Amino acid sequence: MSASERAVALFAEAWGGWPTTLVRAPGRVNLIGDHTDHQDGLVLPMAVDRDTCLALRPRAGASARVVSEHERERATVRVPPSGSAQRGWAGYVEGTLWALAGDGHPLVGWDGAVASDLPVGAGLSSSAALELAVALGALAAADAEAPDHARLARLAQRAENEWVGMSCGIMDQLAVAAGESGRALMIDCRTLACRPVPLPAEAAVLVLDTGTRRELTSSAYNTRQRECQRAAESLGVASLRDADAETVARGRLPEALERRARHVVSENARVRQSAYALAAGDIVAFGRLMEASHSSLRDDFEASTAELEAIVEAAGSQPGCFGARLTGAGFGGCAVALVDAARAEGISAATRDAYRAATGRDATVHVCAAADGAAVMGGDAR
Ligand code: GLA
């Protein structure tokens, strides 16, 4: 059964009858441009063809009751939330409703059921998908119009920054909101302009899940984000988007901060070059940029792990692989590889074998296509 069918079935089981609204929100994978968004920089993600689906129906009363196929406990969230009462997945539901209310949107109570094909905490943005599904679902339940992608993404980001406590940038939420089938999106995280970048038909995108989850991801992430902010302050710029390689080299920053800043500045340049390479259909050049991005994230940003190294090496050494790199926050989770589409299955199997031989662990490989962003599906689900 698809995630949308499972969401409807779970709804019927938990609340009886049919939902009135069904929303799907995809995950995302970032092809290049990591740890640049929290510095107003450039990123090149795509929404993937794996969804989180939310089936819901308005109810009388000032609360949203939600069940998830992955969680044993049902959550009941006050509408609008008055203080942070929920932990874990329900905290994302609560934070999103809080951000919607703060942005002036009308809210009503509802019953909902969540089903998802996205692995949780793996780096495919299962949390941003949940936030966007809840935002669109709650607005539909209240018969309210959804704001544009940028505003929707901002409020989902606010939920994460101010409610959940993760100082993330805007990339995940905007990629999930604005994704386009068959294309990646070059996003300027300062202006929130999104430019579609066609993906070459002869290439396939593999998401390589190391199977490692870092409980401390958010604290490691927040540490890196603060380091970048300190580097920007020392260089006298609002964010590292405004610095260039020379400013960083001459900035007399403490050594670690200099390396963090060097990564961000060089990564922005690689994203720009990548968009040109892809527009010109030059996959080989793009693959080299992916590799350079990985080295920078490992050496300068120190966001890699032994498992990420092993999987990037396993995929990158296969004939037919154009490039591989860690993707997203790092510190565990997933890598991404761009490979010859005709050989995708063989490369996936060989990568899993090589990774197991190197680490004794099993990897999961998803062959992903670029998909459309989050949306309310059809009309009334009845
Ligand atoms: C996480 C964050 C994003 C982004 C990436 C790294 O996915 O949520 O905002 O910073 O890490 O590029």
Model confidence over 49-80: pLDDT tens digits?
999 999 999 999 999 999 999 988 899 999 99
**Confidence label for 121 from pLDDT (cuts 50, 70 and 90):** confident
pLDDT confidence of residue 299: 98
In the chain, % of residues over pLDDT 70 = 98
pLDDT confidence of residue 292: 99
Report the amino acid identity of residue 214: R
pLDDT confidence of residue 275: 96
Task: Tell me, in angstroms, the distance from the centre of ligand 1 to residue 35's CA.
Answer: 6
Q: In the numeric block, which tokens belong to residue 346? A: 């063989």
Q: pTM for this one?
A: 0.96
Q: Could you read off the pLDDT of 168-184 as tens digits, one per residue?
A: 999 999 999 999 999 99
- Which residue from 124, 171, 263, 301 has its CB within 8 A of the most atoms of ligand 1, so it is best to mutate? 171
Looking at the predicted structure, is the pLDDT value of residue 382 above 50?
A: no
| Contact present, 23 and 131 (Cβ < 8 Å) | no
The finding on whether 160 has its CB within 6 A of some atom of ligand 1 is no
- Which residue from 130, 172, 219, 336 has its CB within 8 A of the most atoms of ligand 1, so it is best to mutate? 172
pLDDT confidence of residue 74: 93
Q: Could you read off the pLDDT of 211-225 as tens digits, one per residue?
A: 998 655 578 999 999
**Confidence label for 123 from pLDDT (cuts 50, 70 and 90):** confident
The finding on whether 169 has its CB within 6 A of some atom of ligand 1 is yes
| Mean predicted confidence (pLDDT) in 223-235 | 97
pLDDT confidence of residue 214: 67
| Contact present, 381 and 19 (Cβ < 8 Å) | yes
Task: Answer with the residue of higher pLDDT: 122 or 76.
Answer: 76
The finding on whether 312 has its CB within 6 A of some atom of ligand 1 is no
Q: Could you read off the pLDDT of 303-333 as tens digits, one per residue?
A: 999 999 999 999 999 999 999 999 999 999 9
Q: Which residues pair with 22 in a beta bridge?
A: 55
Looking at the predicted structure, is the pLDDT value of residue 145 above 60?
A: yes
Minimum mean pLDDT among 85-94, 153-162, 282-291, 306-315: which range? 85-94
In the chain, % of residues over pLDDT 90 = 91
pLDDT confidence of residue 86: 78
pLDDT confidence of residue 348: 98
Burial zone of 145 (CB within 10 Å; 0-12 exposed, 13-18 middle, 19+ buried): exposed
Nearest to 198 by CA among 10, 370, 378: 370
Q: Is 121 left (phi over 0), alpha (psi -120 to 50) or beta?
A: left
Nearest to 207 by CA among 275, 146, 126: 126
pLDDT confidence of residue 285: 98
| Mean predicted confidence (pLDDT) in 142-151 | 97
Q: Which residues contact 165 (CB under 8 A, 6 or more apart)?
A: 218, 222
pLDDT confidence of residue 381: 41
Ligand 1 atom at minimum distance from 43 CA: 12
Ligand 1 atom at minimum distance from 34 CA: 12
Q: Could you read off the pLDDT of 336-361 as tens digits, one per residue?
A: 999 999 999 999 999 999 999 999 99
The finding on whether 172 has its CB within 6 A of some atom of ligand 1 is yes
**Confidence label for 379 from pLDDT (cuts 50, 70 and 90):** low
Nearest to 10 by CA among 106, 116, 169: 116
Report the amino acid identity of residue 254: P
Q: Distance of CA 190 to CAs 128, 187, 217, 342, Å? A: 19, 9, 24, 37
Task: Tell me, in angstroms, the distance from the centre of ligand 1 to residue 225's CA.
Answer: 10
Q: Could you read off the pLDDT of 252-311 as tens digits, one per residue?
A: 999 999 999 999 999 999 999 999 999 999 999 999 999 999 999 999 999 999 999 999
pLDDT confidence of residue 378: 72
**Confidence label for 82 from pLDDT (cuts 50, 70 and 90):** confident
Nearest to 133 by CA among 172, 104, 96, 175: 96
Nearest to 109 by CA among 82, 131, 76: 76
Mean pLDDT value across the chain: 95
pLDDT confidence of residue 215: 59
* Omega prior to 198 cis, within 30 of 0: no
Task: Tell me, in angstroms, the distance from the centre of ligand 1 to residue 124's CA.
Answer: 10
The finding on whether 35 has its CB within 6 A of some atom of ligand 1 is yes
Q: Mapped to the 3 state alphabet, what secondary structure does the chain carry?
A: CCHHHHHHHHHHHHHCCCCCEEEEEEEEEEEECCCCHHHCCEEEEEEEEEEEEEEEEEECCCEEEEEECCCCCCEEEECCCCCCCCCHHHHHHHHHHHHHHHCCCCCCEEEEEEEECCCCCCCCCHHHHHHHHHHHHHHHHCCCCCCCHHHHHHHHHHHHHHHHCCCCCCHHHHHHHHCECCEEEEEECCCCCEEEEECCCCEEEEEEECCCCCCCHHHHHHHHHHHHHHHHHHHCCCCHHHCCHHHHHHCCCCHHHHHHHHHHHHHHHHHHHHHHHHHCCCHHHHHHHHHHHHHHHHHCCCCCCHHHHHHHHHHHCCCCEEEEEECCCCCCCEEEEEEEHHHHHHHHHHHHHHHHHHHCCCCEEEEECECCCCEECCCCCC
